[in-house]
Structures are given as structure tokens and as C-alpha cells.
Amino acid sequence: MVAEKWNFPEFITETITHHHSPLDCPEKYRDIITIVYLSNMLCEIEKKNFEMSYIETAILEDMGLTERKDFDGFLDTIKTRFEIHYYSIRN
């Protein structure tokens, strides 16, 4: 892997390796890998490529997002916070 050849820190190489398969990652890096995985999935959902059912059930359970209303509320919060931040730095 290029990241290893470039001597990236282990947490980065592990995140790159497991960001599509967070359940297979080392426990030591589970939090960061889960964040990157979920971020990637939310982007795909926004692009209409995926839907909530594509997300690993264990990840939704860990995040307390197994109910559709909770997941939708989480997604709305993320979008709102992004928009507030994005427009605040552009002005």
C-alpha cells in the first residue's frame, strides 16, 4: 500500500484499509474507522447511490441509529451543521 511506503502512521493505513469494512478492523482503531466509514456512507446516501439499509447493522446499533427517525434526524443534523459551517467560512 502506498500509505505504508510513505510511512503514514498506522492509524491512517488501517483506516484506508478498513474504511469499507469497519467490522473487520482492529479494535484499537475502531472509532476513527467507524467515523470514516459512516461519513463515506452518508455521502453516498446524499448522492442517492445508497440508502440506510446499506450501512452495517452493527454500526447503526453502536451509534443508536437503528430506527429510521433517529437516522433521518442524525442526517439532518449533520447537513445543517455542515451548511452553517460552510456558509460561515465563505462569508
Dig out the grid coordinates for 82 from the structure.
Answer: 455542515
Q: Which pTM was predicted? A: 0.87
pLDDT at 1 (0 to 100):
76
Gap between the Cα atoms of 20 and 88, Å rounded: 32
Residue whose entry in the numeric block shows the C-alpha cell 467515523: 35
Count of CB atoms within 10 A of residue 63's CB?
A: 15
Q: What is the pLDDT along the chain (91 residues), one digit of tens a residue?
A: 798 899 999 999 999 999 999 999 999 999 999 999 999 999 999 999 999 999 999 999 999 999 999 999 999 999 999 999 988 988 7
